[in-house]
Amino acid sequence: LAYKKPTVVFVLGGPGSGKGTQCANIVQNFHYTHLSAGDLLRAEIKSGSENGTMIQNMIKEGKIVPSEVTIKLLEKAMLDSGNDKFLIDGFPRNEENRAAFEAVTKIEPEFVLFFNCPEEEMERRLLSRNQGREDDNIETIRKRFKVFLESSLPVIEYYKAKGKVREIDAAKPIEEVFEAVKVVFTPKEE
Ligand code: UP5
Ligand code: MG
């Protein structure tokens, strides 16, 4: 049976590096569906699911929710979308996330978009975001930075070694960052 595997781009970068902002821009210009793992987890809390309290506690501590929970939400959102091209934003966050997603879905990312941004800039952005996120306080922000350095950067290194990382200087203004992002998504002419 002819069956085309979906195209997946992992969008990674530290907390506040601009993943969500740039994914919204990409979706307006290219035919992708944006799936933020964090947004899916926050929706799961709101829905009053049995995992809600556990997810809420982990997000408050900046910890990584068990892979099976996140992967189930991602798979469902992929199916529900009806699309076959996805920006998966904020996942995988550790080696276990990465290996589990690959094992369960058999999908390898087309490439990995990496928003590289200094911590001081990310901290400034998160502290002034004001969207009522329970993890946008300085205590949790520090924990999120630590988890990013210890657990998430190794995933980016893994894909770097495979030649799959497209790194973007994310410290620039939103429009300039998007100019660099567009280059990555625009097919090259030979
Ligand atoms: N902003 C954006 N770009 C800017 C620019 N170039 N110049 C100036 N300002 C800019 O941007 C953050 C803020 O900065 C916004 O106010 C924006 O206007 C401004 P945003 O686009 O929201 O950045 P983003 O990288 O998406 O930041 P976010 O806080 O969402 O990143 P996190 O990775 O911390 O959050 P996420 O939602 O992915 O995860 C939250 C938690 O969920 C995790 O800590 C973890 O506990 C849990 N989680 C899991 O357990 N597993 C998962 O797979 C995913 C999440
Ligand atoms: Mg986000």
For atom 36 of ligand 1, which residue has the closest CA? Answer: 38
Q: Ligand 2 center to residue 92 CA distance, Å?
A: 13
Which domains does the chain show, CATH number per domain? 7-181 (3.40.50.300)
Q: Could you report the per-residue pLDDT of 62-79, keeping only the tens digit for each? A: 999 999 999 999 999 999
93 is in an annotated binding site: yes
What residues contact residue 16 under an 8 Å CB cut-off, 6+ apart?
117, 121, 122, 123, 125, 126, 129, 141
Mean pLDDT over each residue of the chain, to the nearest integer:
97
Nearest atom (ligand 1) to Cα of 59? 46
Residue from 19, 71, 121 whose mutation best tests the ligand 1 pocket (most atoms within 8 A of CB): 19
Pairing status of strand 111-116 against strand 33-36: unpaired
Global confidence as pTM:
0.98
The answer to whether the complex's ipTM is over 0.95 is: yes
Decide whether any atom of ligand 1 lies within 6 Å of the 62 Cβ: yes
pLDDT band at 157 (very low <50, low <70, confident <90, very high): very high
Ligand nearest to the CA of residue 115, numbered in listed order: 1
Q: Quick check: 1 pLDDT over 90?
A: no
Mean pLDDT of 89-111: 98
